[in-house]
Amino acid sequence: MIILKTITKLINMNDKKFQIKEYLIHKDRKFNSISKIGKLPGGSSNETLVINYFDNNKEEKIILRRHHSGIKDKSNLYPPLSLSIEASVMEIAYNNNIPVPKIIYKLNNKSILGEGFFMEFVEGMSLGNKIVQNTQIHELNPSLASQAGSILAKIHSIPFSQIKNLNTSMANDELIKYREVYKDFSLSIPVFNMAFKWLEDNLPNKDNEKSLLHGDFRNGNILVSPNKGITSVLDWELLHVGDMHEDLAWMCVNSWRFGKIKLPVGGFGKRIDFYKSYQKISGKTLNKDSLKFWEVMGSLKWGIMCLKMYNIYNSGYDRSVDRASIGRRVSETEIDLLRLITREQDND
Amino acid sequence: MINPPSKEDLIVSIIEFLENDIIQELKGQKRFHAHVAKNSLNIVLRQLKLEEVSSEKEKDRLSKILKTDKTIKEMNKILCSKIDNNNIDIDNNELIDHLFKTTMEKLEIDQPNYSSFLDEKNKP
């Protein structure tokens, strides 16, 4: 009865706890009490909650990932993947020995709780700036960059023809998509127009092989343990079929180096380690021009995402201070674009 | 004439209030938002100090490149459509020089601690 009382009390507090009740009933676990529910930062259309609970007096944690407030964001121009596909791909990844949290329970589509799933809690640092400042990670063998390269190679080798409803987006599709978004803002940012022009002139070969991409593989979306390295790859909501170079370049975009500009791979490693281990595991050869195309595309994409986030403030949907000020981070991507386009690439 | 304090002084007083009395009292997301609020006020402060001069310079460069004299907004719009329609080459040195200068002037206001800004500024 204690359990029921606790749960009822929590349900009354807010909707978040309501979902957990469904899970508890379904799995019939012996919870004595839920001690804490916290929300993890990040995630534009999905939210990630950490639930602390006591199981026979031992405190445990579980993760719940679901659409914001359980409702799909219909206003999103390019809605991300359904959470059930995200969960299925994570399960395939888990079975292929890719470090990813184990899916514990998938919420039913028709559930009043909305779409989502529960997964195991994995320990590790997730904040990009904390990772690049940790001195221990530089001693790792294999290095963090090598680990990232082999993990990415494994992700890209997942056979995707059996997975239904995946989006395919190659270089030209991405370019058209982001041009449209930029056009909608009716802004005049000459560096962006220049970057679009450069990208059009430097499109990679249309025949670049199609792979299953993570879509957001960067420092900030990986969990890192200072003694083991990458313990988990998170935030699979942008996964799609595309050019392998897209994922490889996104990790090197300066915005994810957290100030460590001389370490192009996520602010923690060198390109050579990253590319070498990727090529060794995948057996594929990387194209330097394609990598540069996608790094420029990546910087431009982040700049446009900043504009989009500012627009959420401007539209009145979310009037928070950080949504407002993010518009002033667009100039960061402008300098990165100029340096990338007009200068030789850094060779570190 | 408006009486003192100046608009800059008023902003500084809010920054100091956030720094000395507010941020330490807050936790979690509110603390993060208070930090962001302080940063936003610092952006405004830098803009008040620098924008007039940098806009003047940007305007001069634009009218030289475009050989016309209009508002800065209109000229940026013209420049964008020239780039889109191949009426100006994106390898053009004068254009690249202008875009670098303009972007650095923007970052001096927006994010003077950004890694690429600092790296670019310290270039020999």
- ipTM entry: 0.96
Tell whether B2 is covered by a domain.
no
Higher pLDDT, A323 or B21: B21
More confident residue, B68 or A79: B68
For the cut 70, the answer to whether the pLDDT of residue B87 exceeds it is: yes
Residue A160 Cα distances to A178, A209, A242, B75, angstroms: 25, 13, 11, 48
Nearest-by-Cβ selection for A190 from B36, B80, B119:
B80
Q: Report the DSSP beta bridge partners of residue A34.
A: A53
CATH class for domain A128-342?
Answer: alpha beta
pLDDT of residue B107: 98
Residue A250 to residue A255: CA distance in whole angstroms: 9
Q: Do B117 and A335 touch (CB under 8 A)?
A: yes
CB–CB contact B40 A342 (8 Å): no
Q: How many angstroms separate the CA atoms of A3 and A19, rounded?
A: 15
Give whichever of A26-40, A146-160, A200-214, A334-348 has the largest mean pLDDT: A146-160
CA nearest A338: which of B1, B95, B63? B95
What is the crossing angle of helices A190-201 and B93-110, to 10°? 130
Instruction: For A2-120, give the CATH class.
Output: alpha beta
In a domain, B67, yes or no: yes
- Per DSSP, the three-state class of A158 is coil
Both tokens of residue B45? 């402060």
User: How many percent of chain B have pLDDT more than 90?
Assistant: 94
Residue A64: per-residue pLDDT: 82
Beta carbons of A157 and A278 less than 8 angstroms apart:
no
Domain borders along chain A are 2-120, 128-342
> Is B60 a member of any domain?
yes
In a domain, B1, yes or no: no
Average pLDDT, chain A: 85
Amino acid identity, position B49: K
Number of domains in chain B: 1
Contact criterion met (CB below 8 Å) for A119 and A101: yes
Least confident of A17-26, A116-125, A148-157, B94-103: A17-26
Q: Where in the sequence is the domain holding B43, given as residue range(s)?
A: 7-121
**B114 at interface of A, judged by CB pairs closer than 8 A:** yes
How far is Cα of residue A341 from the mean position of the Cα atoms in its chain? 26
Q: Do B36 and A188 touch (CB under 8 A)?
A: no
Q: How many C-beta atoms lie closer than 10 Å to residue A48's C-beta? A: 18
Task: Give the whole-angstrom CA distance, residue A134 versus residue A267.
Answer: 11
Tell me if chain A has a CB within 8 Å of the CB of B106: yes
pLDDT of A103 over the 60 cut:
yes
Q: Is A339 on the interface with B (CB under 8 A)?
A: yes
**Contacts A–B by Cβ distance under 8 A:** 86
Q: How far apart are CA B8 and CA B73, in angstroms?
A: 26
Q: Count of alpha carbons within 13 Å of A176, Cβ hemisphere only?
A: 5
Euclidean distance between CA atoms A305 and A301, whole angstroms = 6
A190 to chain B: closest CA residue? B80
Q: Which 83-102 residues of chain B touch chain A by CB within 8 A?
A: 83-84, 86, 90, 95-96, 99-100, 102
Higher pLDDT: A316 or A326? It is A326
How would DSSP label each residue in A112-172? TT-SEEEEE---SB--HHHHHH-SGGGG-SS-HHHHHHHHHHHHHTS--TTSTT--B--HH
Listed ranges A39-43, A101-105, A261-265; the one with the highest mean pLDDT: A261-265
Chain-centre distance of CA B9, in angstroms?
Answer: 20
Strands, sheet with A46-55, edge to edge from the N-terminal-most edge strand: A31-39, A46-55, A58-67, A116-120, A103-106
| In the block, residue with structure tokens 């991409």 | A213
**Residue in chain B nearest A257 by alpha carbon:** B115
A2 — pLDDT class (breaks 50, 70, 90):
very low
